[in-house]
Chains A and B, each alone.
Chain A
């Protein structure tokens, strides 16, 4: 599998269940190590890093958004976001990030007091608060209703367009691909197709 991705783009990885799209994401995010080959991120080979070096890489360069949010239930919204300050070298303001995702009014609530969409937005705020180069999103709308899902995708798209982040979204939803600058199709652990779209649609333009 050979793949080069550009900075500041909204990239969608499509594929059926078991195709290997999440594995690709985990390798890029430093959650997993390849058995062979190299992964270069901003010119740095992350495939040979030790566990601690990978942790530093994740802390500095990558933000994650998961289907099941993965918030710390015993920390409030603001604390969940602010915890990245403990490890990220250049963190952004937690309040600003929560404002960006529209949750300024919920900062002292616990995750269990929020809706699924709100929890996913906290997860995005936390990912962004690290000020990462890349935001990796594994089925970020999988657990949300379609209306909330659209809102979350709009948020992610704006992060790429306005903040210049590289957003990689793994999904099996073909519609999301219409918003992408680059669409990668994965099948049986191989890249079947990698295509740039010159005129990606906005969230509102996609027929959900």
Chain B
């Protein structure tokens, strides 16, 4: 019989129950979704790292490594395996595409994972093992011929396998590009045998060893490994541990970003769900107090009554959790599927969705907690004798507010006083309404602000800072400075030189620019375009932060593979995609740093096709690579906006109905006295609107704070500056008001159905 009562009561309070289920589902969904996202990423990237033997260290040397060098490294204590490795950008013949041509002598270290076709054959002299993502984007299939060119060298063969590689988990041609674009850039593996066959002996003689990199598997820490490697190889080399590589650090960055997201948004949703549950369960049990008393008077034991009413909360929790698990996995899938947001960035073979074990314990904990809320609510109503329990619940007595002493309060209309006192009398309900509005506002400001920030970022760093049509990458190693400058003149372009440097023990890029033609521009930390002066070096904001440097300080660095040290004044701090140091060619000449031109920035349409040019990159292709990313980000933002609106509607409607139920009798009185439905409705709505104004005033700074935190936590590598456009302010405020007004109207419409006679006959 009690079960029947349970279902009928659920139906009676359906608005509250449904909204609570939705709130729990949203909270659980967001919590599980982001946890599924980061954990799936961690597991799936872990699988490819393990399967391909992702190297722990990379040793670089411009002059290349000999077999003897490799043996010396292999012989180091603590090194389990190593390989000589080559990766260089080459052109696809008769195409504008670029591929990272990759050769590894030992595929057990940072090898490949075959997705389709023949297994890798180290003896093959005509086989390409091509990135499957690049092949898919360009319609290339197994058996298709492929010809690659590098200066005068041509590498010809057929595609034998389609692969994925942990080295190219995030496949970017250089640090100027934020997102992979497989339509124009990918990677391809060939065997050492094919490399040997393709590269003429003379070139090999001139270039020394072709392998500029040794990849190492070792459990040593970086300091210990560097010490051993330096001793074994004779000179100081640039050695990067795996967490300094893009493939590892960016993927791990995404994991930690997912963890951050999983710890912010779900807290907001779950906190609102739990607090709403406290308010709702209290109101429901208060409304049922005489029935609770009746059960007690009839002889039902307290334990049974408590179990009955606690089960309401448990049912809400379980239904919400079930729905939330579905939402969570959907959200996880939305981000983590082969065509989802993450796939635009990370190229993984497997996209299995996994939830970390602790999430299930948290979900059990949430359900236990929700049940406890139900239990405590009914226990309160059961306290005392059966006679006490039989008495209807009486809300707290009204007390005068200090505010009431003021003249201004006395001058207020009755509606204002009524609403103000009602808010004070039902503090929990008012606080929850406020919480819902603040949550709605935070999500809107956060979501739309993120879009504004990204738009502003792309506008400054790509639309404004890139003032050229084509970037021409040169074979800097085989050209003199004069040749590079002459080619830049020929192409009416500006130019840049790039060198790897170390500040302390961390590797960075030194970018030397000659920008007399204004083809490349720079932005300061306020995202204003500023000129580079010849007065010193400019550092990016991350270097400034990590090395505690500011304008006027002295920066000391050394180019890698060199014992030279340079101490230069810091002329300013820039916002930059590249984590590096920037200076004009004139200043570089003053300090005496040697360099050669590595890139030319030009608007010329005709670029000479000769050995000096490695490849070309159009501004359009860089911009295009953002389109997919921005599309997905926009979808995420609209999801966030939708979540904000649902949150606002659900919380406000639930509390609105609660407020309506609690004030039913008062409204019936007003109606009897002669108040029209419209006037009573306006009174109800005005309370919602006041709370909305306060919620917005609190929500705006909180939204900005949350967005700033997210930008710092999620995208510190982009040095994003928070931007909130007028449209975001307007949309956030108007949408929040709109939600509040809509819910107010939905609740106010109920006035028409107030049964004055029945309401006024009930006991007070």
Contact = CB atoms under 8 A, between A and B. Distances in A.
Q: Do A and B come from one complex?
A: yes
A97 to B, nearest CB: 14
Contact of A87 (B397, B413, B417, B679): B679
A79 B417 contact: yes
Interface in B278-334: none
Contact of B398 (A22, A31, A83, A112): A112
A74 B421 contact: yes
B418 interface: yes
Contact of A75 (B414, B762, B763): B414
A74 B414 contact: no
A88 B764 CA distance: 26
Nearest to A87: B674
A68 to B, nearest CB: 5
Contact of A68 (B398, B675, B763): B763
A58 B674 contact: yes
B156 interface: no
Interface residues of B, number: 34
Contacts of A82: 414
B669 interface: yes
Interface in A22-54: 22, 26, 29, 31-32, 51-52
A22 B758 CA distance: 11
Q: Is the interface of B mostly helix, strand, loop or mixed?
A: helix
A112 B669 CA distance: 16
Contact of A83 (B395, B414, B665): B414
B395 to A, nearest CB: 8
B67 interface: no
B414 A59 contact: no
A105 to B, nearest CB: 16
B320 to A, nearest CB: 33
Task: With a 10 A CB-CB cut-off, give which of A26, A58, A126 has the most chain B CB atoms.
Answer: A58
A178 to B, nearest CB: 26
A75 B421 contact: yes
A184 interface: no
Contacts of B417: 74-75, 79
Interface string B650-683: 0000000000000001101111111111010000
Contacts of A71: 669
B691 to A, nearest CB: 16
Interface string A176-192: 00000000000000000
A113 B764 contact: no
B69 interface: no
A74 to B, nearest CB: 4
Nearest to B674: A59
Contacts of A52: 676-677
Nearest to A69: B764
Interface in B174-202: none
Interface string B673-708: 111110100000000000000000000000000000
A87 B673 contact: yes
A171 to B, nearest CB: 15
B425 interface: yes
17 contacts: A31-B672, A31-B757, A52-B677, A55-B674, A59-B675, A62-B674, A64-B673, A68-B764, A73-B666, A74-B417, A79-B414, A79-B417, A83-B673, A84-B673, A87-B676, A108-B400, A113-B397
